[in-house]
Amino acid sequence: MAENTHLQELESLRDAAIQELESIPDESGLEAWRVEYLGRSGKLTQVLRGVSTLPADARPVIGAAGNKVKVALEGRLGERQAAIVNARLDSLADDAIDISLPGRSLAVGRLHPSTIILREITEIFRGMGFQVVEGPEVELDRYNFEALNIPKDHPARDMFDTFWIDANKDAEGRFTTLLRTHTSPMQARIMEAHEPPIRVVVPGKVYRYEATDATHESQFYQVEGLAVDKGITFANLKHTLHEFARRMFGSERKMRFRCDYFPFVEPGVDVSIDCFNCDGTDSSCRICRGAGWLEIMGAGMVHPNVLRNVGYDPEVYSGFAFGMGPERIAMLKYGIEDVRLFYGNDMRFLRQF
Ligand code: FA5
């Protein structure tokens, strides 16, 4: 009687296991099924263990039937495993990649012309022994003007149309923070923090609240230069800038120095390069307007007051400084007729570099 019950129990276990197996979709499900039925504490193993408690004559019958179920379930498990693997291979074949198709090209980025020219400029000065440093674009009045010999209410402030930041005011209610109008504030910051000898160039963005035209933008780059040591003269400045122009434009371009006024240098000059576009022959030339020259920088000998403001003794130290416009230099070098192209984001222009 017990024998029959056990045989029925084995059969229904087998049927339930097989039914469950057929609906398992993947290999992790198969493993769970194997543990449930065939594992060490699995359902079939439990039944087989119970054989020892049966009467002696029933043991071989139930034992043999149990093993038969075990072999049958293992066989079905193998078949189901193969079916799942085959189904996966078939689906891979459906999505097959056609490796004979031509590849899709990725858009390659490129450097902005301002970046290209900035790198060229700084490399030239690096080659002449200058260090490259950078400074803040949001600047204090103290560095942008006062340390540079431009006190409050000095008329030279009109040279720099300023974007003020309305967050901070002094006791008299005047704004103290601005977007730097030139890179010259870094002269004062560098001299405050270091003793001579100093030879640095400072590339960076500057901002001016002014109307734009073919040679004027309201946001542009400058590269400041500063050399301070004992015995620096105007001849050192001229030689350095001539050497820069030779390396940047080649020896066929001409450089012109004219007296100019900047409160932070004495004497001061502006420096121009002859116009690539018209050689001064076209009064309607968009670049030089017929002048034959394009101004690329201001320069001069650091004013004694600026040296004093940072705690240097002007009787001991002297220096030269310059501030150039990289976009204007790129215009001359690459024949670009309008500075506004640099920030116009016109891909037809940008793709040419
Ligand atoms: C200055 O900014 C002085 N800080 C330069 C200087 C430094 C003089 C050290 C003496 C000693 P200026 O405003 O001239 O000077 O500008 C310098 C250069 O920046 C110009 O020669 C020109 O090349 C470029 N520049 C000036 N304004 C613009 C503008 N609106 N758009 C594009 N480039 C400009």
Work out the mean pLDDT of the chain and round it to a whole number: 92
Q: Which of 92-106, 258-272, 338-352 has the lowest mean pLDDT?
A: 92-106
Residue 2, pLDDT score: 62
Q: Which atom of ligand 1 is nearest to the CA of 183?
A: 4
Give long-range contacts, CB 8 A cutoff, 24+ apart: 271-277: 271/241, 271/295, 271/296, 271/297, 271/298, 271/299, 271/322, 271/324, 272/296, 273/245, 273/249, 273/329, 273/332, 275/332, 276/332, 276/333, 276/335, 277/335, 277/337
Residue 150: pLDDT above 90? yes
pTM value > 0.85: no
Query: How do 255-260 and 265-274 pair as beta strands?
Result: antiparallel
Size of the chain in residues: 353
What are the start-end ranges of the E strands in the chain? Answer: 131-132, 138-140, 164-169, 175-179, 198-207, 219-229, 255-260, 265-274, 293-302, 318-324
Q: What percent of the chain has pLDDT over 70?
A: 99
Domain boundaries, the chain: 2-95, 113-350
CATH class of 113-350: alpha beta
Best mutation site among 149, 198, 297 for ligand 1, i.e. most ligand atoms within 8 A of its Cβ? 297
Question: Rounded mean pLDDT of 138-157?
Answer: 93
pLDDT greater than 90 at residue 111: yes
| Dist. CA 102–CA 27, nearest whole Å | 36
How high is the pLDDT of residue 43? 87
| Cβ atoms of residues 212 and 336 within 8 Å | no
* Residue 107: count of CB within 10 angstroms of its CB: 5
Distance (Å) from CA 301 to ligand 1 centroid: 16
